Every structure is written in structure tokens, then in C-alpha cells.
Amino acid sequence: MVRIAKGMTLVVGLGLSGRAICRHLSRLNVPFMVADTRAEPPGISDFRSAHPGVEVHCGSLASLDLQDVEEVVISPGLDPRMPGLKEIADQINPRTGEPRVVGEMALFVRAVAAPIAAITGSNAKSTVTTLLGDMAAAAGVKAAVGGNLGTPALDLLAHQPDAELYILELSSFQLEMTPHLNARCAAFLNLSEDHLDRHGDMHGYRAAKQRIFMGAEHAVVNADEPVTWPEYAVDQVTYFTQAAPKGSEWGLAHHQRKLTLMQGSTPWLAIDELKMAGQHNYLNALAALAMGQALGFAAEPMCSALRDFKGLVHRSEVIADINGVTWVNDSKGTNVGATLAAINGIGATLKGRLILLAGGVGKGADFTPLAAPLSACARRVILFGLDALLLEKALHNHVCTQQVDDLTQAMQAAFELAQPGDCVLLSPACASLDQFANYQQRGEMFRHWVQLKAKPAEGEAR
């Protein structure tokens, strides 16, 4: 048993966030050591060079004696109930009054001076976070954007210490380990099955997401999904909806014969002025507008940012049109809710039919909600990866399905099947880690393959 010195902070996990935690503690001159359950964490040599003298323990945490440890700061990808930690998870740190086991955001909240705008949800949080950052820039607000998206929150403190606002995408893993966030404005966009292998059930998953409202001044939530409404005391709550708005709600309604982003009876922007497509993206725009208004951004800069915003890579991203068939990369659709949004947003606009490429690591999700919308718009669903059989069982009575070994075979099958007016949509409803390093690598493979197919054959006119 390895005993940790009294007063020492233990950082668990040497991933992206874990390294940001270490850099932050180094800047504060807080004594710490590191533990990682892997025998040889990637990049360990570089870490030792950057932090000479910092002890690193590789292997089971159960061999560590945490009796005298000051605080344990755990990377968000790791389960706080893992062996070695669950024994102290409910203990309180007498110095901070917070749990002895916390996440990176606990350190961020202690150190930050500027207001926080925070976004969570099962889907669309990256889009809304990026869009709100663009709105802040257009409004002349010096904002730092990151968190679960892009730069870790603790690195933002070092890179942009003069920021007037920190705009953060936060996952359920990050929020689960945050004692209080105290956000100026917090948004909970939607909730669908995801990460049940970590949280146990939807109740546990929702409870983690709800922590975004702890200490919040203003909440922005989905009027169509009461599960997003705050369970903690919040001074102001603003709602957005896919329906015509009531009162001061944000919603969609026709104005001068055009579908328009509205706040109550006030028109803001006609849908045909947006470069994003699909009703799910219209809701994202409404959520960002509601947050921007709550944060005091002027209307015209927000609308200007919306007009210019094209969406994110790997998120309902149109890659090419080949022989009248549209190929769309939604590799970031790693859960059922995200894929539903893509199917509903794209399926309703097609002249032809949808060919869905799906599969990977299902994370214990129920795939049956995909059946009804696919039966209405799909030509075929081509399945690949670890949980292809589970998808097949959920869908085969409702839509034509086909199983293949991998994404390359799925794309080739779709290419041979698709007809003019169709859309081939990669929106896997699953994580990628069975066959890829991450969803980005999966999306880039799709992009590369499609772009090669889209190039004219040698000798053809260009």
C-alpha cells in the first residue's frame, strides 16, 4: 500500500483534462501527485518532462492509501465510484467544505473571476456553445470558449485571463463532479438516453445534468422537454420551443409568410436567412439567442453571427453531392437523441429517401425510438460495428436493414443503393471506440471517402 503524504492533492487520469488540472495546480504551486489506472498512459514521458519531480502512480488505485490526501481531482472520463475512490467519495474536505473527490470544474469555479455561461444537453451543446461564442465576439464581448469542447476550462484561465465571460460546454461527467457552478446563465437543451453505462439510468443521468443550475442566476431551457427545467432555485427562467412562442418564450412561427425565429410576437430572423438547415438547428439558434439576450448582447450582432454561422464539422455537415445524392457527415451523433434530430431535421426536406449509416458502441441505449421516423423516410439502414445486431433487432420490423463489417463497407453499399434525391447520412447513434479513436476520426474517414468519390474520374471534364 502506497501512502500519500498529508496535504497532497491527487490528480486521477492523464487525459486532456487531467493534464490541464496538473498545469493549473502547478501554476498555483499546489503540491500534487498523479495516478492513472493504465500501466503506461499515452504521453507519459512528455508529462514527466513537463512536470519533473511529480510522482506518477500507474495501476490500480486500490493500492493507494488516501487517508491523508487533501483532495482528489478526477478527470471527467473516469468513474468516481471506481475501486479506491468510492470509499472516500462521500467525505467532506474540511478546508473547502466540498467533497474530497471533485472534478476540474470545482477548481475552475474557485479560480474564475469573470461570469460563466454554461451549456449542457444530450445533443447540440457544441453547436450552441460555438454559436454563443460567435455572438459574443460580434457583440464586442471578450469571451473565452471551451470546456468539454476545445480548450479545457482550466487552460482558458491561463490562455485568456482577461476574458470578460467564459462560455463553457459541460458534459454530465463534468457536472457530476462539480459541487456548484454559479453560472450567470445556464442552458439545459435536451435530454435523451446516453452514458447510461456511467450513470446507471435516466434518473442518474438527468440528475448530473441538472447540477448546471446550482447557483445559477438565469436558466435557458426547452419548453417542450420539462425534464430540462431547473430543479434548483434560479432567479429567472427563459424557455425556447419548436412551436409558436407564448408570452416571452422563444419559438418558431410564420411572420410575413416566412417561418421566423420569434420571441413572443417579436420577429428576429427569418429561417431563410440562416445557413444552417433542419429544425434541430433552428432550436439551437433560439437557445443561443435566449442566452445572448440574458447575457446582455445587443440584438443586431447576434443576428449577424447567426447569418454567418454554417454549423460545426461532423454535425449534419454536407460533404458532397454525387449524382444527385447528398452525403451528410453527422459522426458526432453518438446517441439516439442526436440521430433522431438529424433524421427528423433532414428527412422532412428530402425529395428522395434517406440511407442511414449507423452502429458502434451503443452504451446501453434503447434504439427503438429510431424505428418510427426511419419507417417514414428511410430507403435502408446500413449497420456496422459492435452493436449492429442490437440496432438490427430494434429496427428490422420497421425498415429495411443491412449489416456490414465496417464503415467502409457501409459507404460502398450506400453508394451502390442511393438514387437521385436521396441523402446518405452518417449518424451512428453510437460511440465510435470499437473501430475508431474518436468520432472525429470516424467522420474524417467518411469525408475522405466521399470526397474521393466526388472527384471526376481521370479524363472527365471538370
Q: Which of 280, 314, 281 is nearest to 439 (CA)?
A: 314
Alpha-helical (H) ranges within 139-236 are 153-159, 172-176, 196-199, 202-210
Q: Which of 81, 84, 70, 92 is nearest to 35 (CA)?
A: 84
Q: Which of 53, 8, 126, 19 is nearest to 439 (CA)?
A: 126
Neighbour-count burial of 270, counting CB atoms closer than 10 A to its CB (0-12 exposed, 13-18 middle, 19+ buried) = middle
Query: Which contiguous run of DSSP H or E holds residue 200?
Result: none
Retrieve residue 114's grid coordinates: 469573470
> How far lies 176's CA from each of 14, 214, 319, in Å?
19, 11, 36
**Residues marked as catalytic:** 125, 148, 195
Q: How many CB atoms lie within 10 A of CB 369?
A: 17
For residues 243 and 179, what is the distance between their CA atoms, to the nearest angstrom?
Answer: 35
Retrieve residue 91's grid coordinates: 467525505
Q: Which of 224, 232, 148, 243 is nearest to 186 (CA)?
A: 232
For residues 350 and 356, what is the distance between their CA atoms, to the nearest angstrom?
Answer: 13
> Strand 116-120 vs strand 2-3: parallel, antiparallel, or unpaired?
unpaired
